[in-house]
Each structure stands twice: as C-alpha cells, then as structure tokens.
Amino acid sequence: MADRGRTAVVRIADDEVDATLDRALRELLSACFTKPGDEIFRTRRYYAQPPSWRWSIRREDRLIAHVAAHDLSIRAGIPPRLRTRRVLGIAEVCVEPASRGAGLVREMLEVAHTFGVERGFDFAMLFGRASIYGSSGYHATNGRVHVIDADGSQAVRRDALLRSLAQDVPEGDFSVDGPAF
Ligand SMILES: CC(C)(COP(=O)(O)OP(=O)(O)OC[C@H]1O[C@@H](n2cnc3c(N)ncnc32)[C@H](O)[C@@H]1OP(=O)(O)O)[C@@H](O)C(=O)NCCC(=O)NCCS
C-alpha cells in the first residue's frame, strides 16, 4: 500500500539548512546514533565535518530518514602514477526506528547516486556494513583506505564500501584527501 503521508526524497545543500531544519536533523540523528561519541549530534548536525548535500524524507512534516554526502577526492594508483578521482562520500545514513525496514535507505541512495552521476562523481564510498548497502550496489574494497583522523593522524580503514557511479571503482590501496567522514 502506498505511504500517502510521506514525501519524495528531497535534496538540500548543507549551507542552505535553516535553524528549523538544523534542529530536526539533530533530533533525527540523535534518535538514530546512540553509541558513545554520538552525543555530538545533540549540538551539531554532522559528525566529523559538514557534508555538501543532504537527502531526506518526511512524513506528516516530520523528518523520518536522511543521508548526507561529502564532495571528496581520492588518490589511487601506485606512485608516481597517482590518479585523482571524485568521490561522493556518503555519511550519516539513518531512518527513524518506526520507519525502518521499508527500503528508505535504498530509495534515498538511488536518488543520491543519480545526482552523483549527473555531477560527474566517479564513485560513491561509505563506511558501513555490506548487509545494509549491498542491495544499493556497494562492495568491499580489495585495498586499504588511508584517511586522516580527526586528530590529524593517518589511519587505515577496512570497512570502506564502494559503488561505481560515472567510473569503475579503483582497485588496490588509495588515500582520501582530507579527514574521514
Ligand atoms: C541502518 C538503518 C539506516 C537501516 O534502515 P532501514 O529503513 O531498515 O533500511 P532499508 O529498509 O532501506 O534496508 C536496506 C537494507 O539494509 C538491511 N538492514 C537494515 N537494518 C539492518 C540491520 N540492523 N542489520 C543488517 N541488515 C540490515 C535490510 O535488510 C536491507 O537489505 P536488503 O535491501 O538486502 O533487503 C537504520 O536501522 C538506522 O537508522 N540505524 C541507526 C543508524 C545507523 O546505524 N546507520 C548506519 C550507519 S553505517
């Protein structure tokens, strides 16, 4: 049965978020992310760095689902033949508890991926579980992903999942230019 109370997936640039939406985002993120450290969402609508865009769904004017995306670049290949590629870095994926299991993550990601292709992003990347993102086309990378931690130190992440957009995903190790997200 169609869910008549809910909106389509809507995109907004993060720098256009007003005070009302900022509060609604912090409430949704705080309800969904509850591990130690996630208290940051009570006062801030992003974890490590502000994203460029957000996609969300409302039901009866209440925010029920959300995905953020960062505009990133990576360096892939073997020095000195490093190639820079544009990456849509997906973050802060969440659905309010009462609305889970209805495919809203897949729906939001589909819209975000279309946007990514239109804007010339080579591939999408996120840090998460294949059980959640596999059906949206994400696969584990066969290489190590080097990122810069919040304290500025280098770290290697092994939970990166990639999905091709305009280009195939890179093979082997690569470095994200900028902090983890
Ligand atoms: C993770 C979360 C966003 C999933 O929301 P949802 O509405 O259930 O997602 P969907 O219905 O679109 O399901 C997408 C896929 O994830 C799977 N999935 C959902 N919750 C899962 C869980 N807890 N464990 C394993 N797989 C899960 C679904 O089975 C589905 O897989 P399929 O397409 O192969 O059938 C939601 O539980 C949430 O907000 N959790 C708290 C925040 C969080 O952990 N976010 C993810 C950060 S990486």
Ligand 1 pocket member 137 (CB < 6 A): no
Q: Is the C-beta atom of 108 inside 6 A of ligand 1?
A: no
Burial class (CB in 10 A: 0-12, 13-18, 19+), 124: buried
CATH number of 10-179: 3.40.630.30
Please give the pLDDT value at position 180.
Answer: 67
The response to whether residue 34 sits with its C-beta less than 6 Å from ligand 1 reads no
What is the model's pTM?
0.94
Residue 93 near ligand 1, beta carbon < 6 Å: yes
Closest CA to 89 of 52, 132, 137, 64: 52
Question: Can you give the pLDDT of all 181 residues of the chain as single tens digits?
Answer: 567 789 999 999 999 999 999 999 999 999 999 999 999 999 999 998 899 999 999 999 999 999 999 999 888 777 777 888 899 999 999 999 999 999 999 999 999 999 999 999 999 999 999 999 999 999 998 888 888 776 778 888 888 999 999 988 888 888 887 666 7
Note the Cα 51 to chain centre separation in Å: 9
Residue nearest to atom 14 of ligand 1 (CA): 132
Residue ranges with strand state E in the chain: 10-13, 53-59, 62-78, 81-95, 123-127, 139-140, 145-148, 154-157, 160-164, 174-179
Domain spans, the chain: 10-179
* Residue 167, both tokens: 């280009």
